[in-house]
Structure 1
């Protein structure tokens, strides 16, 4: 099993002043809403700016410490990790992937350009949105092609994390993350198999779609910019080396339907470079 690695790095502006709340058990929680724009560059030097909005949850002392210090428009750096949560509602299983903040630091916004969206929310240009994960594939990759011939692969990644429980005992938790890759990177990923270890470097995106019952659903996933296959000692020295993996020059720009079993793909103009 690949060593678990689960890190998220964000630099963006707060779209609103955060609100401090407490759970019934007395745990302080603070939810930050960050916004930014990524500058995506293709292999030919073309550029495109893509906006993003993410929520980060702080707990405990950090939540109380930053509740009064942060306000709308503040530029902040966040280091954290992805947390997978699953529950059942009305007999139907639901799940979500959220960002748990481990460290936050306000930044000096002088010289940084901030835009305003149509809801009056500030959004940082040239923001930071990076995810680094290492885990194992939960299934064989699903490699398909758009009607225009563009390769897209969907992968499920299980990332293991060791935590200290309330009593000090060590516990293991598994986070399940959906990953998507495009073009050459997708075709390379399509040769992987369930159970193999994988290092993923990418950006966090949110998708939404309408379910068959007419309910809007959401999913947070990682758009892969780079994939590497870890080796596990001399026995695999003759296998695929990390440098064998192609480097992605572009990423999906968001808004793709991801409902399970969906056969349609986004039109060519909605694809990345």
Structure 2
């Protein structure tokens, strides 16, 4: 118990922005954790300069014990930002499909970028995109080992899937979540990774079939001990107080650890700090056909 309280008392790293961390192939940094929990430290960029942080590393791919991710948070806790962060990291070596289940436009900055297979924000578009994902997973499963290794990894990132399901039902567009069954069950073998984020109070509506395949778990924001325990399957450390952008994580049957996600706002959000928005713009791949670097001013001309 004393060790838990001591770990919880460690100060959080401040101002770590969106970036691609120095990690191995297929590894994604979900955020910063306590040094006593991490198995390494990595250099990182903060608003005030270079810092050394203890990363929580999620290993994806064929050898992963937890090939898919679920993030659950209170409203405004940073679930969408976490999805943006993992998508920006994955685009360094994978193709990505992004589905904005709530239709908020939070993934609009990814549209038309190299490596981005699609950005869907309508129920109809989501159904089409996820149906394609299921067929693509099956196509990859039919390849031999050499053929699978030649394929570029594929990620699907879905924000607010429960809301998406209701919007699709209301629009008569069909069941978009039903198409997730194949990539969730067979994605590890096919090189397909699924990352979902949903708000507390509704995430359980995803159903046992979906939830049973999501072994990497994150709980963000001002949640009760009971809520965190329901998400992670274990109680959080004693004395730890989460807030916006912070919480807890558990990878498969591992320990529960504290987590602070990189600050990854929508770069078109004028209410966000300019330095944070600039970091996101700098990570976006170049627009398709531009031959550029992908670093550019936003629509407001702020950069």
Q: Which protein has the bigger strand share?
A: 1
What TM-score results when the alignment is normalised by the length of structure 1?
A: 0.23
What TM-score results when the alignment is normalised by the length of structure 2?
A: 0.21
Higher relative contact order (Cα pairs below 8 Å, separated by 6+ residues): 2
Name the larger-Rg structure.
1
Q: Which protein has the bigger helix share?
A: 2
